[in-house]
Amino acid sequence: MNQVEETLRQEVAKLLEDGTIDVFVGHEAASLPLRTSPCFVRCPKEVNRLVWDRTCTSNLAAYLPQLFKRPVRLKGEWILPKVGVIAKGCDSRSIVGLIKEKQIPRDRLFIIGVGCEGMIDRHSVGRVLGVVGLADAKIDGNSVQVIGTDGREKRIDIADVLAASCRECEHRSAVISDLSLGDAPAPTQEVSRYANVAEFESKSPQERWEYLVAELSRCIRCYACRQACPNCYCEECFAEETAPQWLGVTTDLPDVFVFHLGRVFHQAGRCVDCGACVAACPQGIDLRLLNQKINKDVEELFEAQASLSLEEAEALSSFRMEDDQSFMTEP
Amino acid sequence: MLEVTLDKSKLQEFLRLLGQNRRLFAPVKDRMGTIFSEVADPSLICLDGLNTNLSPKELVFPQWETLYTFKEDHLNETELKVQETVLFGARPCDARALELLDRVFTWEGIDDPYYLSRRAKTCVVALACNTPGEACFCSSVGGSPAGEVGADVLAFDLGDRLYLRVLTERGEALLKEASTITEETTEEDKQKAQQAAAEAEKQLHPISIPEDLATLRESFDAEIWEELGLKCLGCGTCAYVCPTCHCFDITDESRKGVGRRVRSWDTCAFSLFTLHGSGHNPRITQAARYRQRVLHKFLYCPENFGEAFCVGCGRCITNCPAGLDLRAVLERLVSSVKVS
C-alpha cells in the first residue's frame, strides 16, 4: 500500500466517523487486472476498499450529481447528503464545472485533492498485448509487468501506455480541495499540448474527412462516452429527443456524426480533457480529437481553459468587450 | 457424422472454397483485438484471439434494420434478400448464444421473419477454445470450451492442423465443398482435441450461479442493487457486446408523410428504456435497471425459455467502463440470498 492510499483511508475513516460526510466516493480494485471501479463507502469499517494507484482512471465527478438527486432523511429532517470525493486534477476541474452549473452543491461536498502522474490506458495495454487478453498485471514503480492469457510476460513502461489526455495534462493536482494529499511533481518533459489537433489541422480536408469517417464508423451508439462524461448530465439528451427528432437511431454515418458533433459542441468551453469518454469507449474510438480542437479554439479565442477555479467566469458563459469578434459578419 | 482434418497450410484455400458460394464472416485483427468481418481475402483471418470484441449476433440480428418504408398510407415491406453465409471461427459460447436467440425469435409460435431469414442461411463453424480468456466463465453457465450447441461444425485447433467435427446436415454439406483438401481424421487427432478441451475447461475459474429461481425472485428487493445502480453508468456497452441480449426498439422516421420504420437494439441500462408515453417509468432508478439486466438473464429467461441467457463470454466484464463484473454480482447474489 502506498502512502497516499494509507492516508486516504485514515482521513476518510475520520470524516465518516465525525459526521463530516455521509458517503465517500472513491476507487476500489475491480476484478480484472489494471482496472478500478468507483465505490461508495458509507462506514469507517469499509475504508480499506479504497485504492489509489495508476489505474484510478474514472472521472468520479460523473458519479456525484446522482447523489444529490434525492434528499435523505436524517434526524427527522429531509436534507441533502454530505459527500466526500477523491479528486485528481481532471476530476477537480469537472467538480468545479458541475458546481458552477449548479449540478452539485459546494457546501455539501468534501473534496480530497490528490496529485496524479497520469493513468494507465487499458486500450493501450491491450494494443501491446495484441489479440490475447490480460491475465495478470503488477505495477512496479514506473513500469508494469503484464502476463497475457497466452502466458507470455512483458514489462511495459507506464509512460508508453499512459492515457493520451494524461500525456498532455498540465493540471495534475486538484484545483479545488478541502484537504490535499499532496501535489503531483511537475512533468519531467515539456508538455506538448494539442499535438493531435495540430497534426489533424495539417491534413487536407479529404484526409480529415477520411479520418473522422474511419473513427466514427466504429461507433455502436452505446453512449458510454456520454455516460462517463461529467458534463453530460442532461435529463434528456438531444440524441434521444423525439420531438423534434434531431437524429435517427441507426449506426449510419449521418446519425453517428450528428450525435458526436452535437456532443462536441455541447462541450465547447466546458471539456476538461479528462479522457473519460476515450477510456469508456468499447470500440477504442479517438473521441478526444474534436473536443481538443474546440478546447484549442476556446483557448486561442478567449485565453481560457475550462473550470480552473470557482471564481473566474467561464469563457462561454460570460461576455467581455475585448472578446474576439472576428467571427461576426456584416448583415 | 463426418469428421475430417485440415492441414493449416491449406486453411486459406479451405476458406476460399467455403466462401465460393456464400459470404464468409470470420475474425480479423482490430485495434480492440479481433472482430468479425466479412472477409474477401482469407489471409486476413486471425484465429489467435479468443472472443472478438463485439459478438457475432449482428450477423443475424443487426444493430438496426428497416422493417418497411411508407409514403402517406402506402406501405412497402423490406424485401429480405439474404445471402448464404458461413460464420467461421465463432467460439462455442457465441454459437450457443445463437441457439438461445432462436428461442426468443420463435417464442410462443410467433416467428420473427427478419431474424429467421438470416439465421436460416447462416452456417456456423465454431472453434473450440484451448485457453480461456481473462473473463471467461462458460462452464459455470452450462457451456464448455468445446461446446457443440448452436454450431454446424466444431473445429479444434491442434497447432498445425484443424480437426473438424460435423454436427448437422448443413455442416456436412458445407464441408463437402472443401472435401478435396481435407483428410480423414486419425484417432490420435480426436484424442488430442479431447485433451485440449479438457485442459481448457480445467483452466476456467468456476463461479457460483444463483440457480434457485425462488430465491432469485426474493432478491428483487435486495440491498445490493442500490450500490450496483450507483456504479452503473447507464450506457449500453454490456448489452451491445452481449451475444444473447436481444431487446429492441421500434422507431418511425418520417418527414412530410414519407419515412421508414426502423428496428434497433435497445438496452435496459438506458434511462429511456420502458419509459411510458405518460412520463411514468416503472424502472425509474439505475438500480432497478441494472437489476432488470441481471434478473432478465438469470430469472425471467429461465422462466420463459428454460435457460439463463448468459453464455459466459465475459464481454460485458472486459468492456464495462465502470469495472462492473457480472461474475462478482452473481456470487454476491448467491451469498446475500443465502444469508437472508
Please say which residue of B177, B203, B229 terminates a domain. Answer: B203
> Residue A282: which of B53, B131, B251 has the nearest Cβ?
B53
Same domain, B22 and B167: yes
> Residue B131: which of A30, A149, A284 has the nearest Cβ?
A149
Alpha-carbon distance of A26 to A58, in angstroms, equals 9
Same domain, B226 and B171: no
Contact flag A221-B236 (C-beta cutoff 8 Å): yes
Looking at the structure of chain B, the number of domains it has is: 2
Give the chain A residue nearest B28 (alpha carbons). Answer: A131
* Domain presence at residue B150: yes
Tens of pLDDT, residues B163-190: 999 999 999 999 999 999 999 999 999 9
The whole-number average pLDDT for the span A54-70 is 96
Residue type, B320: C
Burial of A233 (0-12, 13-18, 19+ CB in 10 A): middle
* Domain presence at residue B22: yes
Same domain, B91 and B157: yes
Helices A253-266 and A288-302: crossing angle, nearest 10°?
A: 40
Give the DSSP H/E element, type plus range, for residue A144: strand A143-148
The secondary structure of residue A120, as a DSSP letter, is: B
Tens of pLDDT, residues A127-177: 999 999 999 999 999 999 999 999 999 999 999 999 999 999 999 999 999
* Residue from A136, A211, A222 whose CB has the most chain B CBs within 10 Å, to mutate: A222
For chain A, the straight-line distance linking the first and the last C-alpha, in angstroms and rounded, comes to 65
DSSP string covering B63-109: SEEEEEEEETTEEEEPP-----EEEEEE-HHHHHHHHHHHHHTTGGG
* Residue from B48, B69, B78, B235 whose CB has the most chain A CBs within 10 Å, to mutate: B235
A275: helix, coil or strand? coil
Tell whether the model's pLDDT for residue B133 goes beyond 60: yes
Same domain, B38 and B57: yes
Percent of chain A with pLDDT over 90: 86
Collect contacts of A77-82 with beta carbons under 8 A, ≥24 apart.
Answer: A80/A105, A80/A108, A81/A22, A81/A23, A81/A108, A82/A19, A82/A20, A82/A21, A82/A22, A82/A23, A82/A108, A82/A109, A82/A110
The 3 state secondary structure assigned to B214-255 is HHHHHHHHCCHHHHHHHHCCCCCHHHHHCCCCCCEEEEEEEE
Tens of pLDDT, residues B148-163: 999 999 999 999 999 9
Same domain, B97 and B177: yes
Alpha-carbon distance of A245 to B254, in angstroms, equals 10
Between the alpha carbon of residue B219 and those of residues B114, B117, B168, B210, the distances in Å are 36, 39, 41, 10
8 A C-beta contact, residue B158 and residue B192: yes
Give the DSSP H/E element, type plus range, for residue B170: helix B169-176
Alpha-carbon distance of A17 to A27, in angstroms, equals 20
Helices B113-120 and B92-104: crossing angle, nearest 10°?
A: 140
* Domain presence at residue B69: yes
Tell whether the model's pLDDT for residue B125 goes beyond 50: yes
A175–chain B nearest CA distance, Å: 25
Contact flag B133-A37 (C-beta cutoff 8 Å): no
pTM of the model: 0.95
Alpha-carbon distance of B174 to B164, in angstroms, equals 12
Alpha-carbon distance of A131 to B50, in angstroms, equals 8
Angle at CA of residue A238, ends A234 and A243, nearest 5° = 120
Contact flag B49-A66 (C-beta cutoff 8 Å): no
Residues 6 or more apart whose CB falls under 8 angstroms from that of B131 comprise A149, A150, A151, B50, B200, B203
> In this predicted structure, what is the pLDDT of residue B307?
95
* Domain presence at residue B329: yes
* Domain presence at residue B287: yes
Cβ–Cβ contact A282 with B under 8 A:
yes
> In this predicted structure, what is the pLDDT of residue B81?
87
The whole-number average pLDDT for the span A10-23 is 97
Give the chain B residue nearest A246 (alpha carbons). Answer: B253
Tens of pLDDT, residues A238-255: 999 888 889 999 999 999
* Residue from B31, B55, B254, B289 whose CB has the most chain A CBs within 10 Å, to mutate: B31
Contacts across the A-B interface (CB distance below 8 Å)? 128
Please say which residue of B182, B203, B224 terminates a domain. Answer: B203
Alpha-carbon distance of A134 to A125, in angstroms, equals 8
Torsion angle defined by CA atoms of residues B53, B333, B150 and B100, in that order, rounded to the nearest 10 degrees: -100
Give the chain B residue nearest A121 (alpha carbons). Answer: B321
Please say which residue of B153, B176, B203 terminates a domain. Answer: B203
Same domain, B266 and B307: yes
Contact flag B32-A123 (C-beta cutoff 8 Å): yes
Give the chain A residue nearest B27 (alpha carbons). Answer: A131
CA atoms within 13 A on the CB side of A158: 17
Same domain, B49 and B190: yes
The overall average pLDDT reported for chain B is: 94
Contact flag B50-A149 (C-beta cutoff 8 Å): yes
Q: Which three cell numbers stand for residue A81?
A: 447528503
Tens of pLDDT, residues A25-59: 999 999 999 999 999 999 999 999 999 999 999 99
The whole-number average pLDDT for the span A200-212 is 98
> Residue B231: which of A37, A245, A283 has the nearest Cβ?
A37
Alpha-carbon distance of B309 to B314, in angstroms, equals 13
Cβ–Cβ contact A72 with B under 8 A:
no
Tens of pLDDT, residues B283-328: 999 999 999 999 999 999 999 999 999 999 999 999 999 999 999 9
The answer to whether the complex's ipTM is over 0.90 is yes
The whole-number average pLDDT for the span A97-116 is 97
Same domain, B157 and B257: no
A303–chain B nearest CA distance, Å: 33
Contact flag B325-A249 (C-beta cutoff 8 Å): no
Looking at the DSSP bridge assignments, the partners of residue A27 are: A38, A51
- Chain A residues whose CB is inside 8 A of the B78 CB are none
- Report the number of secondary-structure helices (H) and strands (E) in chain B: 12, 12
Cβ–Cβ contact A26 with B under 8 A:
no
B51–chain A nearest CA distance, Å: 9
Looking at the DSSP bridge assignments, the partners of residue B4 are: B164, B184
Give the DSSP H/E element, type plus range, for residue A205: helix A205-216
Tell whether the model's pLDDT for residue A296 goes beyond 70: yes
Same domain, B34 and B183: yes
Tell whether the model's pLDDT for residue B338 goes beyond 60: no
Kindly report the backbone phi and psi dihedral angles of residue A264, in degrees, each rounded to the nearest multiple of 5, phi listed first.
Answer: -60, -45
Tens of pLDDT, residues B190-203: 999 999 999 999 99
Same domain, B185 and B220: no
8 A C-beta contact, residue A219 and residue A260: yes
* Domain presence at residue B208: no
8 A C-beta contact, residue A256 and residue A221: yes
pLDDT grade for B340, boundaries at 50, 70 and 90: very low
* Residue from A220, A232, A241, A277 whose CB has the most chain B CBs within 10 Å, to mutate: A220
Same domain, B14 and B162: yes
Contact flag B253-A66 (C-beta cutoff 8 Å): no
Cβ–Cβ contact A152 with B under 8 A:
no
Give the DSSP H/E element, type plus range, for residue A228: helix A224-228
Q: Residue A301 CB: number of other CB atoms within 10 A?
A: 16
> In this predicted structure, what is the pLDDT of residue A186?
81
Same domain, B180 and B269: no
Q: Give the lowest-confidence range in A316-330, B112-126, B271-285.
A: A316-330
- Chain B residues whose CB is inside 8 A of the A60 CB are none
Cβ–Cβ contact A49 with B under 8 A:
no
Give residue B309's domain range: 213-339
- Lookup result for grid cell 457465441: B94
Cβ–Cβ contact A239 with B under 8 A:
no
Alpha-carbon distance of A131 to A215, in angstroms, equals 20
- Chain A residues whose CB is inside 8 A of the B205 CB are none
Cβ–Cβ contact A30 with B under 8 A:
yes
CA atoms within 13 A on the CB side of A181: 24
- Chain B residues whose CB is inside 8 A of the A245 CB are 253
